[in-house]
Amino acid sequence: MSTAKETAAPSPSSIAQGAIISGVINAIINGAIQWYLLSGHAPLPLTVDGISSDEHTVFGAAVPLAVSLAMILTAVAYTTIKPPKPRFYPVFLGMTIKHGFFALGVIITFAVLWQRLLGSILVPLAVAVIILGLVAGVVAAIVNYMTIMESHRRSQE
């Protein structure tokens, strides 16, 4: 008879299902927020050829959206994980920073490649909002999945 509290780790498929639901919810919420924020700026370019441009772009809006969402959702996911779980500092604080830099790198790399290969393309507000909603949904789903899987992996150690 074991005195330690044993909990069965959720299956990767159930974690993925929860992450997808989180992604869909975040896509809808952040799409609505972006519609409100960008409503006076249509049509919008996806990217522009220049780092110091004052022009609003879709991927320019996607960078802070993805980074802040990745970091916030990592911290929020920590609060939803049932014990036993690793301590927030240093494990989850490091994971929060890592997820922020991961989102930053992926979005910026994609935007630079897009600009290099396809150039500046203007899109209507609805398309810009759909793209930003998809970015938010994908970031939310991936971060949720990575956070919970890593937490369960570390609690097994």
Model confidence pLDDT, tens digit, residues 103-156: 999 999 999 999 999 999 999 999 999 999 999 999 999 999 999 998 888 777
Q: Residue 123 in 3-state DSSP?
A: strand
Domain assignment of residue 116, yes or no? yes
Domain assignment of residue 101, yes or no? yes
pTM value is 0.89
Domain assignment of residue 92, yes or no? yes
Domain assignment of residue 135, yes or no? yes
Residue type, 75: A
Question: How many domains does the structure of the chain reveal?
Answer: 1
Domain assignment of residue 76, yes or no? yes
Domain assignment of residue 21, yes or no? no
Domain assignment of residue 22, yes or no? no
Residue with the bigger pLDDT between 11 and 138: it is: 138
Where in the sequence is the domain holding 115, given as residue range(s)? 29-156
Smallest CA-to-CA distance from 110 within 118, 99, 100 is with 118
pLDDT at 44 over 50: yes
What's the token pair of residue 137?
């949904």
Torsion angle (degrees, nearest 10) of CA 145, 147, 153, 154 = 180
Average pLDDT over residues 12-41: 94
pLDDT at 154 (0 to 100): 79
pLDDT at 102 over 70: yes
Domain assignment of residue 149, yes or no? yes
pLDDT tens per residue across span 45-73: 999 988 777 888 999 999 999 999 999 99
pLDDT at 140 (0 to 100): 97
DSSP per residue, 15-49: HHHHHHHHHHHHHHHHHHHHHHHHTTS-SEES--S
